[in-house]
């Protein structure tokens, strides 16, 4: 299911309609997706912000919608969430191809296992923020302009980079 379809499914649901009646100023601030190539463990969610709270609408495998509320965390490590628009020129099923081409351009041939994709604002641009988990403990962070498909950032790390040495 593509972003536009997920957005429509969620925003046309009774769960969302009830939410928006109680939170008319809520703004869409992120789309969150896990694309799992090894198991059928995909996730689809939209985050809305209203004052100091985040509301996450998740769409499960059976296309049922659940709503969860959290407190908003804003620190220097967690930048301020800003409004996004439910429009992107890149489809969810195109993200792997874009990431794979850029990985090959950077001489990375490992197999993709999972992509965590977040549609969000970054430096006044709406972007896809991809965290790609590949075999051999390789992690790629790729930022893609959601309008132009231009790569803003490409960074390769190894899982061992995240383990602190004592």
Residue 122 has pLDDT above 70, yes or no: yes
Q: Reduced to 3 states, what is the DSSP secondary structure of residue 160?
A: helix
Pairing of strands 112-122, 65-71: unpaired
What percentage of the chain carries pLDDT values higher than 90?
73
Residue 164 has pLDDT above 60, yes or no: no
| CA–CA distances in Å: residue 153 to residues 112, 127, 156 | 18, 11, 10
Structure tokens at 120: 């969000």
Confidence (pLDDT) at 41? 84
Report pLDDT digits (tens) over 30-47: 999 999 999 888 999 999
| 132 strand-pairing partners | 115, 140
Structure tokens at 157: 């790390």
Q: Which of 48, 40, 41, 59 is nearest to 19 (CA)?
A: 48
Domains in the chain: boundaries: 3-162
Region of poorest pLDDT, from 21-35, 49-63, 150-164: 150-164
Q: Does residue 145 contact residue 152 with C-beta atoms inside 8 Å?
A: yes
Q: Which of 50, 4, 2 is nearest to 27 (CA)?
A: 50
CA dist., res. 130 & res. 100, Å (int): 12
Q: What is the mean pLDDT of the chain?
A: 90
Q: Which of 164, 165, 108 is nearest to 136 (CA)?
A: 108
| 130 strand-pairing partners | 117, 142
- Report residue 128 CA to chain centroid gap: 7
Report pLDDT digits (tens) over 136-153: 889 999 999 999 999 999
Note the pTM of the prediction, 2 decimals. 0.89
Stretch 90-114: mean pLDDT, rounded? Answer: 93
Burial status of residue 158 (CB atoms within 10 A of its CB: 0-12, 13-18, 19 or more): exposed
Q: Is residue 52 very low, low, confident or very high in pLDDT (cuts 50, 70, 90)? A: confident
Q: Does residue 115 contact residue 35 with C-beta atoms inside 8 Å?
A: yes
């Amino acid at each position: 299911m593509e972003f536009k379809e997920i957005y429509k499914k969620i925003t046309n649901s009774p769960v969302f309609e009830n939410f928006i009646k109680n939170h008319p100023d809520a703004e869409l601030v992120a789309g969150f997706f896990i694309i799992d190539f090894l198991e059928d463990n995909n996730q689809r969610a939209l985050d809305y912000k209203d004052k100091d709270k985040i509301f996450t609408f998740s769409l499960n495998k059976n296309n049922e919608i659940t709503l969860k509320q959290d407190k908003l965390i804003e620190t220097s490590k967690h930048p301020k969430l800003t409004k996004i628009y439910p429009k992107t020129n890149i489809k969810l099923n195109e993200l792997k191809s874009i990431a794979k081409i850029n990985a090959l351009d950077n001489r990375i041939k490992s197999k993709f296992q999972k992509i965590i994709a977040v549609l969000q604002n970054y430096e006044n641009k709406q972007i896809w923020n991809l965290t790609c988990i590949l075999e051999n403990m390789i992690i790629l962070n790729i930022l893609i302009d959601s309008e132009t498909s231009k790569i803003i950032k490409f960074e390769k790390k190894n899982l061992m980079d995240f383990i602190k040495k004592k």
